[in-house]
Amino acid sequence: MSLTPQDIQAIILSLKVATAATLLSLPFGFAAAYLLVFTRIPGRAVLEGVVNLPLVLPPVVVGYLLLLLFGQSGSLGPVLRFFDLRIIFTLKGAVIASAVVGFPLLVRSIRIGMEGIDEQYLQAARTLGARWWDSLYSVILPLSGRAVLAGMTLMFARSLGEFGATIILAGNIPGITQTIPLAIYEYTNTPGGDSMALSLCLVSIGLSFLVLLVSEASARSFRRR
């Protein structure tokens, strides 16, 4: 098994994209889960639908919708031009694609954890003098910690494998937006690229396994505390 410099680049890019997408989504995912579990805001059903949509849509459709949104002539085009930002065919695009596709997994996990928190813990906290953000920080966050971790793991793993939305929004540019799945795709389209594809597949399997191990270990340390 040998990896070309281009393969190494793809691996690093994959890790970068997955990490960035997971970390960027985390606050939003936590907030969305909180809104869905602990509040009775109007439009809750709509929020729930929007959050879950990328889970049921084909990633290619998500990618195409994102292209319509972020493209030069897209709905956000003028705003992007104003700030001199380019999303499509850049690393940012790959991160956004991964973030959107992985988001429902993150929210789902956190939500399940939050639903397991007895509301009376919050009521107890409030009557003991905690403001709502205080109870969020001192009760909800620690009690849903494991679920947050599980959600992050799922999302990270999903981002490592993101293909459909990424190739449409960010393209397949070696060194810029070519992540592991895109590199594998390119190898399989190249005559004689099979063994190269296999090497990257092995790397991919190894990475996924590592993610699972790390998540198990940290969940265990969480439980011990």
Residue choice 3, 139, 198, 201 for contact with other proteins (CB under 8 A): 139
Q: How far, rounded to the nearest angstrom, does the alpha carbon of residue 157 sit from its chain's CA centroid?
A: 8
Residue 221 interacts with other proteins (CB under 8 A): yes or no: no
Listed residue (208, 200, 209) closest to 10, CA to CA: 200
Q: Which long-range contacts (CB under 8 A, 24 or more apart) does 186-194 make?
A: none
Q: Which of 125, 147, 155, 183 binds other proteins (CB under 8 A)?
A: 125
Using CB under 8 A as the binding rule, whether residue 126 contacts other proteins is answered as yes
225 makes contact with other proteins (CB under 8 A): yes
User: Out of 118, 189, 191, 192, which residue is the one contacting other proteins (CB under 8 A)?
Assistant: 118
- Identify the DSSP state of 138: I
Q: What are the DSSP calls for 65-93, one per residue?
A: HHHHHHSTTSTTHHHHHHTT---TTSHHH
Instruction: Compare residues 127 and 189 and give the one whose CB is closer to other proteins.
Output: 127
Rank residues 23 and 136 by Cβ distance to other proteins and give the closer one: 136
User: Shortest Cβ distance from residue 99 to other proteins (Å)?
Assistant: 29
Nearer to other proteins, 124 or 212 (CB): 124
Distance, CA of 19 to CA of 162 (rounded, Å): 13
Stretch that binds other proteins, among 73-81, 105-113, 118-126, 161-169 (CB under 8 A): 118-126
- Check binding of 142 to other proteins (CB under 8 A): yes
Q: What is the signed CA dihedral for 51, 162, 17, 90, rounded to 10 degrees?
A: -100
Nearer to other proteins, 121 or 209 (CB): 121
Q: What share of the chain is helix, strand, coil (3-state, %, to 5)?
A: 75, 0, 25
Among 58, 131, 190, 214, binds other proteins (CB under 8 A): 131
Smallest gap, in angstroms, from Cβ of residue 30 to other proteins? 17
H helical segments located in 39-144? 44-56, 59-70, 77-82, 91-115, 119-127, 132-135, 141-143
138 is a contact residue toward other proteins (CB under 8 A) = yes
Q: Name the residue nearer to other proteins (CB basis): 82 or 225.
A: 225
Q: Which of residues 166-185 bind other proteins (CB under 8 A)?
A: none
Distance CA 101, CA 164 (A): 10
Binding-site ranges for other proteins (CB under 8 A): 118, 120-121, 123-132, 134, 138-139, 142-143, 225
